[in-house]
Amino acid sequence: MCGIVGIYSKQASISTDALNIATKSLQHRGPDKQKLWVSDNKQVGLGHARLSIVDLITGDQPLNNENDQLHLVVNGELYDYERIQRELQERGHTLNTQSDSEIILHLYEEEGISLIDQLRGEFAFILYDEKEGKLIAARDRFGIKPIFYAWKDDVLYLASEVKALFAAGIPAQWDHQSYYQHLFLCMDQDRTLFEGVHQIPPGHILIANKQDFQIKKYWDLDYPLHDDVSVKRTEEDFIEELKYVMDESVRLRMVADVPIGCFLSGGIDSSAVLGMAVPHYLDKIRAFTVTFDHEAYNEGKVARETAEWAGADYFPISLSQNDFAQHIEEAVWHGETIGHNAHGVARFLQSRAVQKSGYRVVLSGDGADELFSGYIYSRLDHVMSNVEGLSEKDQYKRLEELSLKNPAFRHLLFPTKKTESAKILEPMLGSAPSWIQAMEISRSPFKSLLNPDFSASFRDFEPSRALLNSMDIKGQLSNRTHLHQGMYTWTKSILPNQILFADRLEMANGLEVRMPLLDHKLFEVVRKMPTNMLIRGLKEKYALREAAKSFITETVYNRKKQPFTAPHSTLDPNNPLYEMIQDTLRSNVVQENPFFNPIAIKTLLDSIPKLDYRTRIILDPVLMLLMSTFILHKRYIQEKIKIGK
């Protein structure tokens, strides 16, 4: 895991100062060494900030091939690389390092951009082919590793984080359309909150030369068609294959030249990863668990039981509202986006504690909800798909049962009238994913808080239509089940933009997080399963539970999903985070932001003490989204970029 930078000019010489400053701005991602390469004609430069994980001695970057015609910087990890190294050497290639990253150079020599098909892991890389005058940049299939880019004066800038682009001279300005769409739903997978700054979408590759610039898709989810019955296998066969590939995915991620730990919550995802990791690790593995000072959110008891059962070293990290108040600004600055809960701050502080304890690598259970239908929205879509052929009465009973388990959010899950997004999406897809409808309802309070001029400029803009139009409806969404439509749209939007942004929070502390359950080889097994193996009755992640059964406790096997969510700031009006939110949202920074009406925000703040508990909980995401917006405005738009802050 590292930070990477690239600058490519079609004509003029690049600024080596800009390259150097941008690379140094990513020192938190790569504290061990920062190095540069600049072409002889001064039109291309690569920068690398290294966090040493594999090949501590010879793995410094940028890397070059044997004849110095290819130049490469990589962020992330490539798994099963040792096998590929051996095969390359057998075919006559000379490897200068033991680094996993070097295989990209030699695979490119053989296959060109098709090399991407052989890579397994979480990665982003920039490769310059000096002979062809071509720059190539790519991002992994799910978007675990980010890579951003921007053009200025016919010069292309690329980097692992937006702040590095700003450090290189790209102006920091809001993208009003992206902000509006992200506030009410989720921005497109190729955009950011900042004007002129884009991201390479997951599963895509960027190719630039003096004549052309294009971004091409090399992988997609490809869920089976609704009427596809080509795969006929027993449930037992699926579970056995799933268990094998899960174990392989964990085993491959246990390769490192530094100690490896695990993130552990009370849920099945991280518990399964820990259970499978222990047999592949010679030492006693350490399990890091965030605990909160509010019992409803605290999973420490279950996590401790799991760690002791697995034979791991349990390491709790206790966090309070005071911790959130002290570090929210730093976490938002590193995260570069808006958020609806303090769990991002919790992830930031968890990573800091792990790094301070002497660890640079941990495994996590991230991605299991996306692959195995862990969210309640998936269960709603599954019931509505009615693949089990239930009567209308039994379908309604299933929906009622789901609502009884979520009384505080019933109005989000079961709208009293058809939502605007449903009216738009049903003609496009045949259904409207439940998560999009729920998002429309939960974000509706913002309509009364917007600056009238800003609101008027998007009077005819529909976020759900814009999001779907950015996706391959015909190739990836048509003739799929409601469940797969919901999973696809979520994985292409919420996952990279509102979940995997945690990469910046973890790498802020020089911590590499590996995700065995977000593996494309594993996904290829899961995507072929009948949907009733993902959700059985109303039990989520059925296949995962069965495959992991021997690696987890009975408590975890039977436990219902509890999202990783920090305690809401509105639980106690006297807590430090709530007080900080009140102070910030009443300050001058609100006056200077282009999106919101300060008077409307003040009215909302004045009303909170009079509201009941349930309403305060529902409003908490609104407050956190406002808070993170104003922090971004202050740190990026007002103060501009400050290197190292």
**DSSP codes joined into one string, 347-358:** HHHHHHHHHHTT
Residue 414 has pLDDT above 60, yes or no: yes
Task: Quote the tokens at residue 351.
Answer: 């990573």
447 in helix, strand or coil? helix
List pLDDT tens digits, range 29-65.
Answer: 999 889 999 999 999 999 999 988 887 777 889 999 9
Matching residue, tokens 């089976």: 224
Residue 75 confidence class, pLDDT cut points 50, 70, 90 = very high
Answer whether 413's CB lies under 8 Å from 438's CB.
yes
Residues 164 and 302 in one domain: no
Residue 113 CA to residue 136 CA, distance in Å, equals 8
- 521, 536, 598: which is closest to 247 by C-alpha? 521
Are 551 and 574 within one domain?
Answer: no
Strand-strand pairing, 44-50 and 204-208: unpaired
Distance CA 88, CA 499 (A): 36
CA dist., res. 252 & res. 519, Å (int): 11
CB 577 within 8 A of CB 570: no
Q: Are residues 552 and 574 in the same domain?
A: no
pLDDT digit string, tens, across residues 428-452: 999 899 999 999 999 999 999 999 9
Question: Mean pLDDT, to the nearest integer, of 231-248?
Answer: 93
Whether residue 263 is contained in a domain is answered as: yes
User: Is-contact 394 496, C-beta < 8 A?
Assistant: no
Split at pLDDT 50, 70, 90, the class of 645 is very low
Whether residue 427 is predicted with pLDDT greater than 70 in this model: the reply is yes
Give the whole-angstrom CA distance, residue 517 versus residue 495: 14
CB half-sphere exposure, 433, CA atoms < 13 A: 26
pLDDT given at position 1 = 66
Q: How far apart are CA 364 and CA 366, in angstroms?
A: 6
Residues 198 and 315 in one domain: no
The answer to the question of residue 50 being in a domain is: yes
554-558 LR contacts (CB < 8 Å, sep 24+): 555/302, 555/305, 555/306, 556/266, 556/267, 556/268, 556/271, 556/302, 556/306, 557/268
Kindly report the CATH number assigned to the domain that includes residue 320.
Answer: 3.40.50.620
The answer to whether residues 299 and 352 belong to one domain is yes
| Per-residue pLDDT at 643 | 40
User: Pseudo-torsion of CA 100, 508, 146, 181, nearest 10°?
Assistant: 170
User: Residue 304 — left, alpha, or beta (φ > 0 → left; ψ -120 to 50 → alpha)?
Assistant: alpha
Q: How confident is the model at residue 459 (pLDDT cuts 50, 70, 90)?
A: very high
Same domain, 211 and 92: yes
Amino acid identity of 210? K
> Looking at residue 644, what is its pLDDT?
38
pLDDT of residue 298: 82
What confidence score (pLDDT) does residue 617 get?
Answer: 81
| pLDDT at res. 409 | 56
Stronger pLDDT, 291 or 384, i.e. the higher one: 291
Q: What is the 3-state secondary structure (H, E, C) of 460-493?
A: CCCHHHHHHHCCCHHHHHCCCCHHHHHHHHHHCC
Question: Confidence class of residue 201 from pLDDT cuts 50, 70 and 90?
Answer: very high
Mean pLDDT over the full length of the chain: 92
Residue 422: inside a domain: no
The total number of structural domains in the chain stands at 3
Cα→Cα distances 386→65, 300, 336, 362, 398, Å: 55, 37, 40, 39, 11
- Domain extent, residue 51, equals 2-217
Pick the more confident residue, 21 or 56.
Answer: 21
What is the band of 611 on the pLDDT scale with cuts at 50, 70, 90?
Answer: confident
**pLDDT at residue 297, rounded to an integer:** 75
Tens of pLDDT, residue by residue over 315-339, are 999 998 899 999 999 999 999 999 9
Q: Is residue 153 part of a domain?
A: yes
Region of residue 249 (left: phi > 0; alpha: psi -120 to 50; beta: else): alpha
Q: Are 48 and 31 in contact (CB under 8 A)?
A: no
207, 244: one domain: no
pLDDT-derived band at 642, boundaries 50, 70, 90:
very low
Res 108: pLDDT? 98
Clarify whether residues 40 and 150 are in a common domain.
yes
Domain-embedded: residue 8:
yes
Residue 193 shares a structural domain with residue 243: no
Residue type, 179: Y
Angstrom distance (rounded) from CA 106 to CA 89:
10
Whether residues 505 and 595 fall in one domain: no
Q: How far is CA 632 from the centre of its chain?
A: 19
- What is the predicted pLDDT for the residue at 233? 87
Q: Exposed (0-12), middle (13-18) or buried (19+): which is 362, by Cβ within 10 Å?
A: buried
Question: Does residue 15 sit in the same domain as residue 148?
Answer: yes
